[in-house]
Structure 1
Amino acid sequence: MEQTTKRQTAAYELTRVFDAPRERVWAAWTDPERFSRWFGLRMLATPVGRITLDAWPGGVWRATLVGEEGFEVTLDGTYREVTAPERLVFTTGDPDHPGEGPASVVTIEFKAVAGRTEMRFHQYGVNTDQQHAEQARAGWMEFFDRLAEHVGDDPPGLTLRGG
């Protein structure tokens, strides 16, 4: 008989409206150069050369955040759904086989609203307690503050590309 381990799970949702068209916000999630400008806490850098965004179902995403004194942390996962510029679903870690570590599924929906973008972000974690989920939520909120600054900085007429 196979023994199963009880996993803790937690989920949360964030909704944010960006003063930018949906295609610009989508590009910030799917273009490595744009992604490098906002992904991570302010005290960390995410060098474009340390980012992989293969934005198609089954493709890999990976970003290494670097800080002072040689600090590095790599986050990665797999895209499950990619519907430009409306929806991204990706994993962090492997939620189907997480082992002992936390893993999650992120679903992001982008809705155009009068030239702006409403982004609905949902994260469901396995091997994740509520305290870890709240820490992740606070981190994403800072990421999204940086994202708002980034998408607001693009000059009019800039060509956008994305998955």
Structure 2
Amino acid sequence: MYQYFNGLVIREGTEGVPAEKVEALFEDAGWARDTPNWQKEKFTLIFKNSTWAFTVWDKEDMIAMVRVISDQVMAATIMDLIVRSDHRGKGIGQKLVALCLQKLPHGDWFAHTSANNFPFYEKCGLEVKNSAEKGTCAYFGYIQARLDGHRK
């Protein structure tokens, strides 16, 4: 499926997303750097193993993406939402969240994000709750990977 948004093309789908384009967005966001060659396939696999995904294209350049993991009935989590730094502030991120919410309009949605992104998600209609009150638990594998010497 294709949609047009302010002169950009939004593609829906989890197949055929070029790993090098995803890696470039991760690097721009500060989420990756110096990825070893043997790990680069993860940038394709994360899409193949996601439930839904949207990518935003300016001609041949992928300038934004979002991927979602869901049971497709009751709950969904936005895992990665990235808008390239030179395209931020143009409503692209909000459009991607809106497209996601349309996929499961009556389900419970969560965003895997850091606190500095809470105001953005509130603008998109998500509610930020005190996680201590709600009993949310988290395990971050990257912390263990650093302790084990696998990540910088």
Q: Same fold (TM over 0.5)?
A: no
- Relative contact order, higher structure (CA 8 A, sep 6+): 1
TM score, norm. by length of structure 2: 0.32
The structure whose residues are more often helix, as a share, is: 2
The structure whose residues are more often strand, as a share, is: 1
